[in-house]
Structure 1
Amino acid sequence: MDVCEVMVVAIEMEAESERFYQQAASTSSNPLAIRTFEALAEWEVEHRRLLEAVHAKAEATQSCPTLAELEAEELDMIEHAELIFKTALQDVDDTLAHDPTLSGAYATAMEKERKAIAFYQEQLEATEDPNEKQLYEFLLKQERGHLSLLATTEEYLNDTKYWFFKEEMWFATPG
């Protein structure tokens, strides 16, 4: 596939994920899940816009633009995750944390992220173009961050008390 064909597939993938995250946020009652899915939906919109810009420039020039040309900004997933947790945890108590209805949504969300990772990894391995490589590496890092955020929030929602102990283990063990 050339970069334009890849972008068409990638744009649809990102749009589908955005729709899924919006639906998951609207059907959840858990503040942490809602904020997580809303953030992911916003990030998918940003990815889709970036991919649309890549597609337009690639179609016009027959080559992949650089990330600098696209003014692509890398999100600090840890910073964003901390903000999501900080604001959501103000609204969550232990009785609300475990919501078994969310496990299906999280499983589907993580599968979507894994598919995106596999797709971008395949494109990375298939291209020799340095600009395309840079783009796919950028997207891979973002999608891995999404997967990590989902895994962390799912783990928290499934076992709040153990999650805090595990996350703070460095404090409880001699070092």
Structure 2
Amino acid sequence: MNNAQDIIRYAMGMEQRAQEFYEFYKDKVTSRKIKELFEGLAEMEHEHYAILESQLKSLEANNTFEEFSLEVSEGEDIIKSKTKDMEHVDLEYDLSDLPILRMAYAMENDFAVFYEKALEKATDPIAKNLLETLAKWEREHRDSFQSEVELATQNSWFAQGFYPF
């Protein structure tokens, strides 16, 4: 990927695949909490796609990035305000949902790394701001999933009567 348009097109594809992933797996997970999280993330990835699409159109039409203001959406607040409420955790979900949570973690990590590497190559200040914001959001998603994977792993241990600590 040598130019900004290629980077934006690739990022749009990533965001679209993420939206499809969350929409597909929201009906496969057993945890209500994870289902709600996936619903919110599907919406967020759609918003990310729309932001990128707008920038691509500007690049194609004017060869410049358009000024923008990114506010944290209600969906992004889901990630920031999510708490671990052990009283309402269904221990059965942890084992069956764990592979899906791990896939989500890996996907979000890949996205964060992609945006961070693209940011290193960006020279346009608007592009840098866009990529930095997207990298930050994806890191927040990744970190949220890391916490969920750890919680699900520990709960599956407890459900099986295994206490490694």
Classify the TM-score, shorter chain: 0.7 to 0.9
Number of residue pairs matched?
Answer: 155
- Long gaps (5+) in structure 2: 156-165
Give me the TM-score of the superposition, normalised by structure 1.
0.77
Map 1:98-109 onto structure 2 (within 5 A): 98-109=93-104
- After alignment, is 102-111 or 8-17 more displaced? 102-111
Give me the TM-score of the superposition, normalised by structure 2.
0.81
The answer to whether structure 1 residue 59 and structure 2 residue 57 are counterparts is no
CA-to-aligned-CA distance 1:57-78 (integer Å, 9 cap, x gap):
111110112333xxx2234888
- Name the amino acid aligned to 2:123: E
CA RMSD of aligned residues (A): 2.6
Work out whether residues 74 and 138 of structure 1, in 8 Å CA contact, stay in contact via their aligned partners in 2.
no
Aligned partner of 2:125 among 122, 125, 130 = 130
The answer to whether structure 1 residue 25 and structure 2 residue 26 are counterparts is yes
Map 1:14-163 onto structure 2 (within 5 A): 14-68=15-69, 72-75=70-73, 79-81=77-79, 84-85=82-83, 92-96=88-92, 98-159=93-154
Tell me the distance in 2 between the aligned counterparts of 1:102 and 1:85: 18
Tell me the distance in 2 between the aligned counterparts of 1:46 and 1:78: 10
- Long gaps (5+) in structure 1: 161-175
- After alignment, is 132-141 or 59-68 more displaced? 59-68
Tell me the distance in 2 between the aligned counterparts of 1:66 and 1:16: 26
Work out whether residues 12 and 52 of structure 2, in 8 Å CA contact, stay in contact via their aligned partners in 1.
yes
- Identical counterparts, % of pairs: 25
